[in-house]
């Protein structure tokens, strides 16, 4: 079985973005491989076994791209490729990036494409499945050896059987990944990473800006202001918290 896994980072430290007035500072050194991508890589390596192969891809750029590929390579994947020229967190042009990625993956004979379900990233799985004509299974929290899957919904699960070729998005709890060893990480750092330019034909891009919705902090005293509750309701309506 030939498996592609598309990995990315995950924001776990709120200080990845800091702000000063209206300026935003980005600290990519705080970003590492996401938990759900670790689950995806672990699943991929397990499914591939001794006869299969797991190839890694990322849409992350620069140091973050290299880092997540190193981390994922150390878990047992065979090769690593970075797609250069897009932003994996930007939903505005994810469909264009997915189109290029699909073109690249199309004739390579993959049976399975695994993608971690990372909060805050731009979803690409559905586009890949559509472009490649693969089946799509999302929010997968379990995948048994006989291909029974569970898709997580808010109050329940969908259960069924995966038909390959397929694109799966994997949740962090789908499998408990083992930590890679230091020798494996050291070897991964020496592995060559292939670069593929996406050449996106777009000027559409989202921007990261300071959140202007500031939380008010207003406390009334009911003894001093008998109409405090009216004032509260008025303020909530004003802020759109209550409409």
Note whether 67 binds another protein by CB under 8 A: yes
Cα–Cα dist 78/68, whole Å: 14
Candidates 42, 55, 60, 71; binder of another protein (CB under 8 A) is 71
In whole angstroms, the minimum distance from the beta carbon of 111 to another protein comes to 19
In angstroms, what is the minimal distance from the CB of 74 to another protein?
8
The reply on whether position 182 binds another protein by CB under 8 A is yes
Q: Which of residues 37-56 bind another protein (CB under 8 A)?
A: none
Using CA atoms, how far residue 13 sits from 69, 91, 215, in Å, is 20, 21, 21
Calculate the CA 123 to chain-centre distance.
Answer: 7
Per CB under 8 A, the list member of 47, 136, 196, 200 interacting with another protein is: 136
From candidates 66, 78, 196, 200, binder to another protein by CB under 8 A: 66
Q: Per-residue x/- mask for another protein, residues 74 to 113, rule CB under 8 A?
A: ---------------xxxxxxx---x--------------
Given 76, 85, 123, 165, the residue binding another protein (CB under 8 A)? 123
Which residues, in sequence order, are CB contacts of 160 under 8 Å at separation 6+? 137, 148, 149, 151
Joined tokens for residue 193: 């990473």
CB of residue 242 vs another protein: minimum separation in angstroms? 5
Which lies closer to another protein via its Cβ, residue 15 or residue 145?
15
**Window contacting another protein (CB under 8 A); options: 41-49, 53-61, 104-112, 156-164:** 156-164
The dihedral over CA atoms of 59, 35, 122, 67, expressed in degrees to the nearest 10, equals -20
Q: Does 69 bind another protein (CB under 8 A)?
A: no
Please check whether residue 166 is in contact with residue 43, taking contact to mean a CB–CB distance below 8 angstroms: no
Indicate the DSSP class of residue 191: S
Shorter beta-carbon distance to another protein: residue 51 or 146: 146
Nearest to 137 by CA among 118, 113, 119, 154: 113
The binding track of 184-203 with respect to another protein, each residue x by CB under 8 A or -, is: -xx--x--------------
Task: Report which of 184, 60, 66, 47 is spatially closest to residue 113, judged by C-alpha positions.
Answer: 47
Distance, CA of 156 to CA of 93 (rounded, Å): 31
Of 212-241, binders to another protein (CB under 8 A) are: 213, 215-223, 228-230, 232-233, 235-236, 239-241
């Amino acid at each position: 079985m030939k498996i592609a896994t598309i990995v990315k980072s995950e924001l776990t430290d709120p200080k990845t973005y800091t702000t000063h007035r209206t300026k935003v500072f980005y600290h990519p050194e705080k970003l590492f491989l996401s938990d759900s991508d670790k689950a995806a890589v672990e699943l991929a390596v397990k499914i591939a076994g001794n006869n299969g192969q797991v190839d890694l891809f990322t849409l992350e750029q620069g140091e973050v791209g290299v880092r997540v590929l190193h981390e994922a390579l150390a878990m047992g994947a065979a090769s690593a490729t970075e797609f250069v020229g897009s932003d994996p967190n930007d939903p505005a042009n994810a469909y264009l990036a997915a189109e290029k990625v699909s073109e690249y993956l199309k004739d390579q004979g993959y049976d399975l494409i695994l993608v971690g379900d990372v909060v805050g990233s731009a979803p690409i799985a559905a586009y890949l499945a559509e472009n490649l004509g693969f089946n799509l299974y999302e929010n997968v929290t379990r995948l048994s050896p006989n291909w029974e899957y569970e898709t997580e919904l808010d109050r329940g699960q969908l259960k069924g059987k995966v038909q390959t070729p397929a694109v799966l998005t994997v949740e962090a709890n789908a499998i408990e990944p083992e930590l890679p060893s230091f020798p494996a990480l050291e070897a991964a750092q020496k592995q060559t990473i292939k670069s593929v330019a996406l050449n996106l034909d777009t000027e559409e891009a989202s921007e990261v800006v300071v959140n202007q919705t500031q939380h008010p902090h207003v406390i009334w005293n009911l003894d001093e202001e008998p109409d405090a509750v009216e004032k509260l309701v008025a303020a909530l309506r004003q802020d759109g918290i209550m409409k």
